[in-house]
Structure 1
């Protein structure tokens, strides 16, 4: 996929604007438009990226399927080569659905520091890949608030924890998959827009905030920054890719499928943050394995997690 000329993102697209209007926050969101200005990777952003060890990328495989995959490495794995260029000195792991990531496509990156509850969103074009990593021509880079980020200190997993396990591909969730989802307090989500390209974002809450029913998933939408990047993309294209990581064992679950926003009555069971919104996800493909070389032994819940209802 080539990078269409003239499509650098400079404001909210029609899906985001529609969501903001329906949620009644259009004026609040308009004040944040400046965050979507063309990227300028300097100063604190450069220092933040240089120290990170974890990110997730939303991109498409050779068949055009959208996936969200972890990227991990020592500090320096994310290197700012210029104010609009980011070098990622690693690739998705062997067996990952994006193992053979190809250049020439739009990608989204979410860079997280769970220990300090900070995250940075990066969108751009994957301009180059080789055996050592990839280069992203960055169009957008902006921080997101610390809401719903669980505090954990990631470290490199010991070698014995990374013993080879077969990677399983399929279409139906197993009992182990369902257990991982129901235990999760965090997942990463990739979405897409037909012009703007792919985006990666973070979702967090208390364990159990993602529900599994009849092989499908749903979770309540929480109050956030009013930008509605993820839900705005789903307004335009229902394609979505979820990544669940067990930060104790390194096991990962990649899901690719379709997501839809549902408006409900406020305060009904499952409307944990009283937004009257939930997202329903139907998986179509999955990849499960031990593909995260990072671990965290303890976790402290985010103070703003809504209780389950």
Structure 2
């Protein structure tokens, strides 16, 4: 039985990678691998994606001292932090998670249901799998005691935010399928790979990946999506929610180095939190996989 829903299968078919996806599907398990347990215990952050009560999809960042992520069962983790604005979880919610360690270019993705508990979340996992190190920029974190500012909302990117988007080398994208099952994924490349076409339109290339098409498969059935753009030097977080569509035209992709296809994101709401993360990171060592 395939772990992929019909949107993922449709995307895999359009890309001509059904066989490759079927092969790598063996990586997906409901059980946390033994080697992932110490990895999770060492992490100071995790990215969470989910839909809010209105159906808007957001990606956000949870942080804590190493140990704030703990494995308490074969398919259960506890997160010692809860998301705030713009994604407040007050009842059991389908979530996608990605724990990523830029310093070693390791990451693991997890999908399941988050239950609010005292001091954080308990997540019952349904899918757990590791990802390759492609497109992860190497960085080393330090911690700041600066307090986060109040969320500032808008309906479009400011000029400053457009400029920042055009210089970023990393962002995260959250999507869901029609049943609300959520996924959180990483996107990386050399600065300029993400383009702010206008105050309400972003575009990025989809590079060669793991052939699962979790993000693009969700977009086949549900265009709602959320982006998280972290400022690694200040800790400021820019959250975006809106809709995304995949441009499968190979002629359009051919104009962008390394692109297999393009993704266009329409902004509906922006929430900026100055110093939203207490982590500060060193300058990047760019991935050798980044198309130039």
The answer to whether TM tops 0.5 is yes
Residue 87 of structure 1 contacts residue 135 of structure 1 at CA under 8 Å; is this kept in 2?
Answer: yes
> Counterpart of 2:131?
144
Query: 1:119: how far off?
Result: 0.7
Q: Which moved more, 1:264-273 or 1:175-184?
A: 264-273
Note the residue ranges of structure 2 that are not aligned, 5 or more in a row. Answer: none
Pairs within 5 Å for 1:1-309: 11-37=3-29, 39-93=30-84, 96-98=85-87, 100-130=88-118, 132-157=119-144, 159=145, 162-195=146-179, 197-215=181-199, 216-266=201-251, 270-275=255-260, 277-290=261-274, 291-307=276-292
Give me the whole-angstrom Cα distance separating, in 1, the residues matched to 2:255 and 2:270.
25
> 1:3 is matched with which residue?
none
Q: 2:172–2:227: 8 Å Cα contact kept in structure 1? A: yes
Q: Contact 1:124 / 1:140 at 8 angstroms: preserved in 2?
A: yes
Displacement of 1:249 in angstroms is 0.7
Sort the Cα spacing of 1:102 and 1:270 in 2 relative to 1 into closer, same or farther, 3 A: farther
> What is the distance in 1 between the residues matched to 2:237 and 2:121?
22
Question: What is the CA RMSD across the aligned residues, in angstroms?
Answer: 1.7
| Structure 2 CA distance for aligned equivalents of residues 270 and 279 of structure 1 | 14
Deviation (angstroms), 1:54: 1.4
Cα displacement (A) at 1:62: 3.7
What whole-Å deviation, never above 9, does each CA across 1:237-288 have from its counterpart, x for those lacking one? Answer: 000000000000111100000000002234766422142x100000101100
Shift of 1:10: 5.6
Q: CA shift at 1:176, angstroms? A: 1.7
What is the distance in 2 between the residues matched to 1:188 and 1:139? 21
**Matched residue of 2:35: which SS?**
helix
The range that moved more, 62-71 or 136-145, is 62-71
Residue by residue over 1:211-230, the C-alpha shift from the partner in whole angstroms, topping out at 9 and shown as x without a partner, is: 11122100011011111110
1:94-138: CA deviations, max 9, x gaps?
A: xx312x3222111110110001101110000012333x1110011
Cα–Cα, structure 1 residues 127 and 262, in superposed 2: closer, same or farther, change >3 Å?
same
CA contact under 8 A between 1:10 and 1:36: conserved in structure 2? no
Aligned-partner Cα distance in 2 for 1:24–1:42: 30
Where 1:32 maps in the other structure, the secondary structure is helix
Q: What is the alpha-carbon distance in structure 1 between the residues aligned to residue 91 and residue 41 of structure 2?
A: 23
Distance 1:107 1:164, change over 3 A: closer
8 A contact 1:266–1:274 mirrored in 2 = no
Moved more, 140-149 or 171-180: 171-180
> Which residue number in structure 2 is paired with residue 4 of structure 1?
none
TM-score (norm 1): 0.89
Structure 1 gaps, min length 5:
1-8
Whole-angstrom distance in 2 between the partners of 1:213 and 1:269 = 18
> What is the CA distance between 1:65 and its match in structure 2?
2.1
